[in-house]
Amino acid sequence: MKMQPKSAGVNKENYTEDELKDIKYMKAAIGQAKKAYALGEVPIGCVIVYEDKIIGRGYNRRNTDKTPLAHAEITAIRKAGKVIKDWRLEGCKLYVTLEPCQMCAGAIVQARIPEVIMAAENPKAGCAGSVMDILNNPDFNHQVVVKKGVLEDECSKLLKDFFIELRARNKAEKEQKGNL
């Protein structure tokens, strides 16, 4: 399912109540991604919702924290578990701006999160169907309902803009070093 507002504003008549909730929470995940962007991190954001309330938020901080574990989903799962006071997040929905990697997909399965709503697919490292499908591997004791494409264009643009700026910055730094 692809849900893309036609303009900056969302015409509520074109969407179901569930779709409007998905848009609302994906916008919150985008807000998290923008925090990563501001730090110079790949702009990936995540929120976890329980009973229509955000209980976990996270954004990519791998370079900032100097650890490969500082992914948006891992941070959000950790925070949500503290709120619920359980490692099982069975009644939750996870919203993420980019398809989860193998580590995050594994954590989602381990946390027993029943549903993942994602924006953009990740053809190089996605593990919700792109490269592999950890979230729906029948050999695991838990499978996840996956909804793709919620605000995909907005999230894809944020990622593309980031990488365009990163390449330009890297090129300028390389040229400056060459002039020294």
Is it the case that residue 2 has pLDDT exceeding 60?
Answer: no
Please state the pTM of the whole predicted model. Answer: 0.90
9 band by pLDDT with thresholds 50, 70 and 90: low
Residue 101 in marked binding region? yes
Region 88-117: mean pLDDT is 98
Is it the case that residue 4 has pLDDT exceeding 50?
Answer: no
* pLDDT, position 7: 40
Whole-Å CA distances, 128 to 64, 65, 155: 26, 26, 17
CATH assignment of 17-179, among 3.40.50.300, 3.90.330.10, 3.90.180.10, 3.40.140.10: 3.40.140.10
24 touches 35 (CB < 8 A): no
* pLDDT, position 53: 98
Q: Pick 11 or 120 by higher pLDDT.
A: 120
What DSSP state is assigned to residue 8? S
Is it the case that residue 144 has pLDDT exceeding 60?
Answer: yes
β-partners of residue 145 are: 115
* pLDDT, position 126: 97
Full DSSP string of 39-94: TTS---EEEEEETTEEEEEEE--HHHHT-TT--HHHHHHHHHHHHHTSS--TTEEE
Q: Which of 113, 75, 118 shows the shortest CA–CA distance to 92? A: 113
Residue 104 in marked binding region? yes
178 band by pLDDT with thresholds 50, 70 and 90: confident
Region 21-28: mean pLDDT is 98
Q: Which residues form the catalytic set?
A: 73
What is the pairing mode between strands 92-98 and 45-50? antiparallel
Domain residue ranges of the chain, discontinuous segments joined by +: 17-179
176 band by pLDDT with thresholds 50, 70 and 90: confident
What is the pairing mode between strands 53-59 and 92-98? unpaired
Residue 46 in marked binding region? no
Is it the case that residue 163 has pLDDT exceeding 80?
Answer: yes
What are 140's two structure tokens? 């695991």
* pLDDT, position 61: 98
40 touches 1 (CB < 8 A): no
Q: Where are the beta strands (DSSP E) in 71-156?
A: 92-98, 115-120, 145-148
Is it the case that residue 50 has pLDDT exceeding 70?
Answer: yes
